[in-house]
């Protein structure tokens, strides 16, 4: 594992001041991460949440950690409990935290310890419109985003929604880290193209680690 991590750190691709792409960084953790996703989804199944405007999101979501990100008619927020069950969100698997901390350090943000992980499941056609991650209490911590399954096009813009967004191809195992000057950059995902991944079939899984509380 040490050799693989060293090689992926060397291939880091700067995206902006405070933002970096780490190609293949999650591959050494692949088996543990996929097992963790399955365990979380068994306890808190994926679901399509509704935006405050009443729109059903095309991306299916679940959470793990001390808090989960949710959206409904009342707005966007973090909550310690799954609104569908009233139970606490599943604990974050140990491998999740290790990967997030190491990726953040490789991206220039040592000491990052996430307390929340939002897990998104994309199927062909699903997308995520440009947005900022603003529901966290402290913007000093970075965002760590892990891509698994089908390839996707990550849209990474600037501090204004009207800023031109860079189109960043993401493959299975890629990790994007952004913080500091880029912490509130607008970002999203273009509609997922159809295809089949040998491990995840016609799907893409995205794990986004945050310091929410």
Mean pLDDT by 10 residues, the chain (213 residues): 45 96 98 98 98 96 98 96 96 98 98 98 98 95 98 97 97 98 98 98 98 96
d(CA 191, CA 128): 8
Q: Domain 2-210 maps to which CATH number in 1.10.620.20, 3.40.718.10, 2.40.110.10, 2.60.120.590?
A: 2.60.120.590
- Yes or no: say if 76 and 95 are a contact pair by the CB < 8 Å rule: no
pLDDT score, position 7? 46
pLDDT score, position 10? 55
Q: Which two tokens stand for residue 166?
A: 């860079």
Considering only CA atoms, which of 11, 4, 9, 10 is closest in space to residue 27? 4
Tell me the pTM: 0.94
Q: Which two tokens stand for residue 164?
A: 């031109």
């Amino acid at each position: 594992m040490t050799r693989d991590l060293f090689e992926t750190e060397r291939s880091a691709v700067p995206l902006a001041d405070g933002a970096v792409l780490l190609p293949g960084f999650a591959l050494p953790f692949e088996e543990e991460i996929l097992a963790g996703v399955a365990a979380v989804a068994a306890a808190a199944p994926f679901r399509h949440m509704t935006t405050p405007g009443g729109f059903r999101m095309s991306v299916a979501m679940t959470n793990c950690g001390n808090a989960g990100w949710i959206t409904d008619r009342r707005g966007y927020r973090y909550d310690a409990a799954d609104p569908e069950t009233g139970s606490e969100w599943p604990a974050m698997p140990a491998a999740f935290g290790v990967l997030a901390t190491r990726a953040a350090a490789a991206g220039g943000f040592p000491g990052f310890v996430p307390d929340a992980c939002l897990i998104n499941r994309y199927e062909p056609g699903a997308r995520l419109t440009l947005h900022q991650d603003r529901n966290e209490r402290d913007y000093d911590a970075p965002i760590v985003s892990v891509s698994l399954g089908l390839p996707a096009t990550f849209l990474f813009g600037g501090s204004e929604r009207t800023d031109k967004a860079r189109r960043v191809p993401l493959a299975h195992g890629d990790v994007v880290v952004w913080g500091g000057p880029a912490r509130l950059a607008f970002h999203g995902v273009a509609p997922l193209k159809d295809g089949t991944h040998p491990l995840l079939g016609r799907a893409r899984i995205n794990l986004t680690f945050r310091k929410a509380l």
